[in-house]
Amino acid sequence: MRSFSFRRVLSSVGLCTVLLAGQAQAQPHDGGVLNLVAQPEPPSLMHGVVSHVSTQYVSGKILQGLLTFDTDLKPKPVLAKAWTISPDGLTYTFDLQDGVHWHDGPAFTADDVVFSFKTFYPEVDKRLGGIITEYVDNITATGPLQVVFHLKKPFAPLLSALGSGLRPVVPKHLYENTDFRNNPYNLKPVGTGPFVFVEWKRGAYIKLAKNPDYWKKGLPHLDGIVFHVIPDGSSRAAAFERNDVQVLRSGDADYSDLKRLSALPNVQSSEKGWELYAGLAFLQINTRKPPLNNPKVRQAILYALNRQFIVDNIFFGSGKLAQGEFVSTTPYHDPQLPQYAYDVKKAKALIAESGVDVGAVRIRLLNGEKGGAWERLAEYTKQALQPLGFKVQVVTSDAATWFQRVSDWDFDLTYNFIFQIGDPYLTSAYLYRSDYILKTSPFANVSGYSSPEADALWTKIANTPVSPERTQLYSQLENVLNNDLPIAPIFEMRNQTLFHTQVKNLLQTATSLNEDYESVYLDAPAP
């Protein structure tokens, strides 16, 4: 691996304080260390294998994709410098950046792209693998810096899938002929990005350093980035107040602290940088065994949850009531969808109609380490279901254990969230389609939901071009899912980012916090 010095980046394990600047400068400063929070501590540092929010946050500075999207949702180049789409929509040609090298030295070429999307992702990402199998006829390298995707039939969301920030190009020379999921470089990633991996001290920090050979001359500006692992929400807030960390993502601080922290001097709050991600929080229900295999019981659960109370008092207004299985900001949501208004009387009536003794077995609500609000939500859910006769046990685990247990279907109830990236087919389909009842990820069909009617509608949607007919198909599908309710939608998420004002160029793309931070700089970097 190419050598570099981390001496200037960090002199101790402790938090690095960045001095405040009196006035913003017209030209970016070079130098300084940006201190962030890894909350929760990621289970892996390779977001091509583990699509966990913390993994994406760290790994996105190291590994890069072909393209991204600006805040107006227009595609912009990353490792692909340009692309063309044939008039029939069946051929996508990507011209790649020249002079790019992996952090350990070898040149980045078209072979890495072909390997990533033809071999790597079909194995580790069943969602993208399904798209490739269904829509892609072949992926070929027509030169050292040109890749062509040959499609079987048009697939309009292809650029969204490639530019979501979730599918970086992986180094063929380090992954070919290996066990992709257990490759040691998942924990010490090698990429093409502006920052190189230095050290991961579990329970304490993850250090990245400036890539001295980055393919964009003059970038990055920062000497390094440190992600601090601070399990306690109040300690994270205190670190931000002291300017020991300069940025808090939505969820890094307890939602009850956001208003106070955003009012601090020299602190800015913004909801920019999430334009491609429409967040939906939901309750996943394991439908495989009684009493949760009964749709009336699942409907009763949603009626028993006061979701407006959840938004207002647990997440302190950082969201709005979910209107259905597809977020309300997408044109594919049916505004006439029947709603589950808070109604305990209705919930009890549905339990009676089901004929099921819901108290016969203990229900395990698996809570991941997502912070105080999610822990309070789990306890609230336990209390809200007691009047219906449920015996709920809240089981709290760390992020890695939660990821594995949900992937293995080892839960009864669990809260989760996804970002619906444009067309719901790209993300939501895999939560519901019966061919995705797989032990691969919490973002597959871990509920065990199987509906021939829903499966048929997903297939029709995939094969129907953007049109009123496709919108109507989505309406039919959302009504089916809303009645069967294997997943109970809770609220649409508002993603607020807090940062000290000396942090510049932070929110530049539609997936900003998961991006590479190549142009981020500090007004007054530490000496």
Please give the average per-residue pLDDT across 115-136, as a whole number: 91
Give CATH 3.40.190.10 domain extents, the chain: 193-275+495-522
Instruction: Give the residue carrying structure tokens 């027509």.
Output: 142
**The model's pTM:** 0.76
pLDDT band at 526; cut points 50, 70, 90: very low
Q: What is the pLDDT of residue 155?
A: 86
- The rounded percent of the chain whose pLDDT value lies above 70 is 94
pLDDT band at 510; cut points 50, 70, 90: confident
Q: Is the pLDDT of residue 206 over 80?
A: yes
Q: Is the pLDDT of residue 12 over 80?
A: no
Task: Kindly list the distances between the CA atom of residue 320 and the CA atoms of 111, 304, 310, 375, 398, in Å, as whole numbers in the listed order.
Answer: 45, 18, 10, 19, 27
Distance CA(465)–CA(258), nearest Å, equals 42
pLDDT digits (tens, 9 = 90+) for 295-314: 999 999 999 999 999 999 99
pLDDT digits (tens, 9 = 90+) for 212-246: 999 999 999 999 999 999 998 899 999 999 999 99
Backbone angles phi, psi at 366, to 5 degrees: -85, 120
Give CATH 3.10.105.10 domain extents, the chain: 279-493
Q: What is the pLDDT of residue 1?
A: 41
Looking at domain 279-493, its CATH class is alpha beta
Can you point out the beta strands (E) in 306-400? Answer: 319-321, 362-367, 391-396
Taking each helix axis from N to C end, the angle separating 295-304 and 468-484, rounded to the nearest 10 degrees, works out to 90
Looking at domain 193-275+495-522, its CATH class is alpha beta
Distance CA(63)–CA(118), nearest Å, equals 18
| Cβ(438)–Cβ(298) below 8 Å | no
For 63-185, the fitting CATH number among 3.90.76.10, 3.30.1360.120, 3.30.1330.10, 3.20.20.70 is 3.90.76.10
Using alpha carbons only, what angle is made at residue 470 by residues 469 and 475, rounded to the nearest 5 degrees? Answer: 95
Give CATH 3.90.76.10 domain extents, the chain: 63-185
pLDDT digits (tens, 9 = 90+) for 338-374: 999 999 999 999 999 999 999 999 999 999 866 688 9
